[in-house]
């Protein structure tokens, strides 16, 4: 009789330990799945961000110098929304240099071209996450 009573207590402890082990496994698995989903979401967000930034840079490379000189015209590029990102573009003239051409035959110097260096700032926002990029664009005009 005494052996049976001890066996029931031992069985109860085994069940309790197995429940604790199962509960710990479920909590660990749940945390791992949550972390993987969050990482996957961030990875997709940065992939979209990279693709959008590359698209904007391709567009900016084709923008005329006059548009870069007047930052209010950049808003007319219809880039306020692209791939779900809210985009703000600003340009600032950093430097302007005249290009001098010399003609060896008649010893004349002409200044018919100029080079411009612009600082273009992009701010991309999506889902309350903002990323700021600063790029430099060089233009020759004339």
β-strands 81-82, 108-126: how paired?
A: unpaired
Q: Which helix (H) or strand (E) holds 14?
A: helix 2-61
Q: Delimit the domains of the chain by residue range.
A: 2-141
Range with the poorest average pLDDT among 9-18, 24-33, 34-43, 129-138? 9-18
Q: Which band of pLDDT confidence, cut at 50, 70 and 90, is reported for residue 85?
A: confident
Using a cut of 0.85, tell me whether the model's pTM lies above it: no
**Mean pLDDT score of the chain:** 82
Between the two ends of the chain, the Cα-to-Cα distance in Å is: 107
Interval 104-124 mean pLDDT: 79
Q: Please tell me the predicted confidence (pLDDT) of residue 45.
A: 84
Q: Please tell me the predicted confidence (pLDDT) of residue 38.
A: 92
Q: Which band of pLDDT confidence, cut at 50, 70 and 90, is reported for residue 36?
A: very high
Indicate whether 3 pLDDT > 80.
Answer: no
Beginning with the edge strand found earlier in the chain, give each strand of the sheet holding 81-82 in spatial order. Answer: 81-82, 85-103, 108-126, 129-141
Interval 72-84 mean pLDDT: 70
Interval 85-92 mean pLDDT: 85
Instruction: Say if residues 139 and 65 touch (Cβ distance below 8 Å).
Output: yes
Instruction: Say if residues 99 and 113 touch (Cβ distance below 8 Å).
Output: yes
β-strands 81-82, 129-141: how paired?
A: unpaired
Instruction: Say if residues 39 and 32 touch (Cβ distance below 8 Å).
Output: no
Q: Which two tokens stand for residue 31?
A: 């945390």
DSSP single-letter state for residue 80:
S
How many angstroms separate the CA atoms of 112 and 115, rounded? 11
Indicate whether 1 pLDDT > 50.
Answer: no
């Amino acid at each position: 009789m005494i052996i049976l009573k001890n066996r029931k207590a031992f069985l109860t402890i085994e069940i309790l330990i197995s429940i604790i082990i199962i509960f710990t496994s479920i909590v660990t698995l749940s945390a791992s799945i949550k972390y993987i989903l969050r990482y996957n979401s961030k990875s997709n967000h940065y992939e979209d961000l990279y693709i959008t930034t590359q698209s904007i840079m391709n567009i900016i490379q084709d923008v005329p110098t006059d548009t870069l000189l007047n930052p209010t015209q950049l808003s007319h590029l219809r880039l306020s929304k692209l791939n779900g990102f809210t985009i703000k573009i600003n340009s600032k003239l950093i430097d302007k240099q005249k290009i001098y051409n010399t003609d060896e035959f008649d010893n004349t110097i002409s200044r018919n071209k100029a080079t411009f260096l612009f600082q273009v700032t992009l701010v991309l926002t999506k889902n309350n996450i903002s990323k700021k990029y600063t790029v430099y664009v060089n233009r020759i005009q004339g």
